[in-house]
Structure 1
Amino acid sequence: MAALLCNPRYLRASRADNLPAAHERSPAFSRDSVFGGGYRIVGTVTELGVPGAYRVRLYDRRTALLVREAWSDSSGNYAFNFIAYRDKGYFAVAHDNDGNPLNAAIADLITPEPMP
């Protein structure tokens, strides 16, 4: 076993940086096989009318499984790209992390639109 660990060919093959750059960025290796598709969901989130950077979580409406998570920009805009079209749709929950007890915003029955 010690000879195997000292073999330079084994050490090169076990390094993470040994992967080709095209392999790391290939859509075939980073595609969501369950909730991935050719649609997107875009929206704006505000807390009591004030836009800001909030954590937005997207859930499948039928199973309540967490599909994606993103942060909105400072204007409250968020986007979930390459989402599958689901017949029951999605719902999104946004939270403000400043400790405000009224910190959740919920959007229900979200239907994705085709990617441009």
Structure 2
Amino acid sequence: MPAGTTKNFGTPNTPVRRRVRLHDQPTGRLLRETWSDAVTGAYQFTALRAGTFYVAGFDHTGLYGGVIETDIVLPTPAP
């Protein structure tokens, strides 16, 4: 299942709360949206079909630009 952690860039890389969107990579269609945890920065997406996805993270404060992770492959459906 697609999961990760959002952090501010720098020293130290501090976990932060950010909006994270999951997209179907071949079509670009938005599938899910969540906010990462404010303390740990952790996020995850569950109950997905098998496929290839990308995740885009956005800094709603405007201090940093967005970050995209591509080619997230789920060979089998996620629970």
Query: Offset at 1:108?
Result: 0.9
TM-superposition CA deviations, 1:66-116 (whole Å, max 9, x none): 010000002110011101111xx111110111121x23111111123743x
Q: Does 1:96 align with 2:62?
A: no
TM-score by length of structure 1 reads 0.57
Specify which of 6, 13, 28 is matched with residue 64 of structure 1: 28
Contact 1:41 1:83 in 2 (8 A): no
Partner of 2:69: 107
Runs of 4+ in 1 over 4 A off after TM superposition: none
Query: Offset at 1:47?
Result: 2.6
Partner of 2:37: 73
TM-score by length of structure 2 reads 0.81
Q: How many percent of aligned residue pairs carry the same amino acid?
A: 30
- How many residues get paired? 73
Specify which of 47, 52, 56 is matched with residue 82 of structure 1: 47
Which secondary structure state, in structure 1, belongs to the residue aligned with residue 50 of structure 2?
coil
RMSD: 1.5
Contact 1:97 1:103 in 2 (8 A): no
Query: Offset at 1:55?
Result: 0.1
Max radius of gyration: which structure?
1
Partner of 1:41: 2
Higher helix proportion: 1
Which secondary structure state, in structure 2, belongs to the residue aligned with residue 50 of structure 1?
coil
Which secondary structure state, in structure 1, belongs to the residue aligned with residue 46 of structure 2?
strand
Tell me, in whole angstroms, the C-alpha distance in 2 between the residues paired with 1:65 and 1:47. Answer: 27
